[in-house]
């Protein structure tokens, strides 16, 4: 069951990357998202994300908890906070700090990461388990040139916006329809690879809407224990991947994220969006 929650966390972070976030600080708007996660047709958890743009920082807070049977078995809940810079040298947002705590019925873990404001490299890393300091199992050389999970989803959104701007002539350069994101969360080091597969029209919020369909793969690199099923998640049956569908407009929204392959279907759906403190919009898809 804990494996299920970790998989859902992974899927949910991808969904957040599709939220209506502009590529530059002046286009960012405060927002709150509510997402619902399911596994095998059962509601497994809920997630709340808030993003608050400041003058020189983007502050993100992510809260997640298990529900129903999953809550009874795992008691999982987590909170992550990140500060990221606005776009720097065309790279998109870069990490400043990342702090996270997650709890289950059996354990509690905390992570704190700090980054250099100039080059984005890690300057300080601390991890705890049940209140006791722990050393990261990820070698220092594999921590170089990495970003935290919340900054990664901001960069994912930045890349999609770049593709749209290139296609409409707003920028005069080609943008690849695939991209890899190097992520280190303080405990695990992995690579997310996203590829645009096709364009389609889907029913979203009761209307036919242009959409983009992506294929997403995860490659575990370090820090995964032998008991951690995510270590072999992508190759469970040799074909496992995630289908991600988002609206094709200037403010992409996640429509669905669904696992393909494997033995148990896992999905994440957006249910509510609040922007600029305005009345929240419920989403039916």
* Predicted confidence (pLDDT) per residue in 89-143, tens digit: 666 789 999 999 999 888 999 999 999 977 889 999 999 999 999 999 999 999 9
pLDDT score of 42: 86
Distance in angstroms (rounded) separating the CA atoms of residues 153 and 133: 28
pLDDT at 23: 38
pLDDT tens digits, 190-199: 998 889 999 8
pLDDT in tens, the chain (285 residues): 555 555 556 556 666 655 544 434 345 678 788 888 888 788 888 888 888 888 888 898 899 998 888 888 888 899 999 999 887 666 678 999 999 999 988 899 999 999 997 788 999 999 999 999 999 999 999 999 999 998 887 888 788 878 877 877 666 577 888 999 999 999 999 998 889 999 888 887 778 888 889 998 888 899 887 766 666 665 555 577 888 888 887 667 778 888 887 777 888 888 888 877 677 877 775
Give the predicted TM-score (pTM) of the model.
Answer: 0.85
Pair type for strands 189-204 and 281-282:
unpaired
Closest CA to 77 of 55, 56, 104: 104
pLDDT value for 37: 86
């Amino acid at each position: 069951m804990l494996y299920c929650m970790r998989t859902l966390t992974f899927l949910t972070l991808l969904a957040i990357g599709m939220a209506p976030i502009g590529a530059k600080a002046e286009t960012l708007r405060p927002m709150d998202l509510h997402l619902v996660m399911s596994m095998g047709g059962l509601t497994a958890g809920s997630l709340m994300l808030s993003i608050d743009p400041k003058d020189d920082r983007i502050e993100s807070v992510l809260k997640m908890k298990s529900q129903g049977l999953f809550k009874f078995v795992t008691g999982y809940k987590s909170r992550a906070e990140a500060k990221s810079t606005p776009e720097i040298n065309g790279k998109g947002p870069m990490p400043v700090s990342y702090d996270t705590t997650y709890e289950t019925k059996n354990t509690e873990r905390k992570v704190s990461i700090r980054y250099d404001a100039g080059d984005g490299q890690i300057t300080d890393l601390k991890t705890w388990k049940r209140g006791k300091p722990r050393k990261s199992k990820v070698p220092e050389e594999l921590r170089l040139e990495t970003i935290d999970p919340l900054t990664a989803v901001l960069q994912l959104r930045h890349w999609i916006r770049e593709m749209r701007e290139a296609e409409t002539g707003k920028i005069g350069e080609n943008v690849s329809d695939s991209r890899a994101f190097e992520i280190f969360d303080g405990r695990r080091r992995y690579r997310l690879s996203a590829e645009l597969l096709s364009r389609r029209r889907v029913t979203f919020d009761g209307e036919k809407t242009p959409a983009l369909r992506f294929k997403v793969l995860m490659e575990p690199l370090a820090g995964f224990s032998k008991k951690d099923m995510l270590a072999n998640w992508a190759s469970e049956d040799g074909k496992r991947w995630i289908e991600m569908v988002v609206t094709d407009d200037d403010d992409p929204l996640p429509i669905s994220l669904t696992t393909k392959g494997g033995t148990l279907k896992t999905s994440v759906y957006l249910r509510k969006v609040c922007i600029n403190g305005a009345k929240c919009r419920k989403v039916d898809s």
